Amino acid sequence: MPFGTEGVLISRAEIAARVRDIGVALTAELERDLARGPGSAPGDGSPTPPAGSQHAQHAVMIPVLTGALVFTADLIRQMTVRLAIMPVTVSSYRGAVTAPSNLEFRSDLPTDLAGRHVVVVDDILDTGVTLAALRDRILAQRPASLRIVVLLRKRKRRGAEVVPDHVGFEIPDVFVIGYGLDYDGLERNLPDIVSLSSTGGEAR
Ligand code: IMP
Ligand code: MG
């Protein structure tokens, strides 16, 4: 384990069990939605995929890279519904600093989400700035549905109000690494979620 870390906050076994439950629940929700056919956004004239088209038969998952990489890889293998995976890369430029910062969308959001069932997957809901920006951009395309799934949510007051449909774990307002979450780009490959100690975190 890297130095400057406290103990394991959430073990790989706890993560695996929770990810399985979320995958099963999401599958049921999406299968129900897809059975109803493609959505139509009433009155906005946006292009809606015709019923029976390829789009109508699968959901679109948008993982927010890089943090959601590990979570998404595990989550999709607990899901039996047909999925297209269209990652976006969003960078928020910070190490262990949890203050809101400028966002950079480093890959383009798909532009054909109208009428489709969309699931955004992120590693952690902290200030909510990232997910609020992404949510608004997706909703502007009039998807048939939009779900937000986060593995972790910090217990804190948030600047941007985002209400996820699924939350893996509520955690204290501490900086965490592992299972996809990084400190300055590193430690994403730790299999457990570990909290960075206050001394080790900032002074390194
Ligand atoms: P938000 O926009 O403040 O909600 O931040 C979301 C992004 O910040 C996450 O997707 C992470 O990439 C990063 N982040 C926030 N808190 C942590 C943390 O405790 N550890 C690692 N990354 C974090
Ligand atoms: Mg992230």
Query: Is residue 88 predicted with pLDDT exceeding 90?
Result: yes
Rounded Cα distance, 9 and 150, in Å = 17
Q: Which residues line ligand 1 (CB under 6 A)?
A: 64, 67, 92, 98, 100, 122-130, 175-177, 181-182
Query: Is residue 36 predicted with pLDDT exceeding 80?
Result: yes
CA 31 and chain centroid, separation = 20
High-pLDDT (> 70) share of the chain, %: 78
Query: Is residue 169 predicted with pLDDT exceeding 90?
Result: yes
Query: Is residue 120 predicted with pLDDT exceeding 70?
Result: yes
Rounded Cα distance, 51 and 74, in Å = 30
Residue among 148, 181, 194 whose CB has most ligand 1 atoms within 8 A, to mutate: 181
Query: Is residue 115 predicted with pLDDT exceeding 80?
Result: yes
CA 18 and chain centroid, separation = 15
Pick the closest to residue 100 from 156, 177, 144 (CA basis). 156
Catalytic residue flag (residue 192): no
CA 59 and chain centroid, separation = 15
Query: Is residue 162 predicted with pLDDT exceeding 80?
Result: yes
pLDDT in tens, 40-61: 544 445 555 555 566 668 999 9
Rounded Cα distance, 98 and 96, in Å = 6
CA 191 and chain centroid, separation = 18
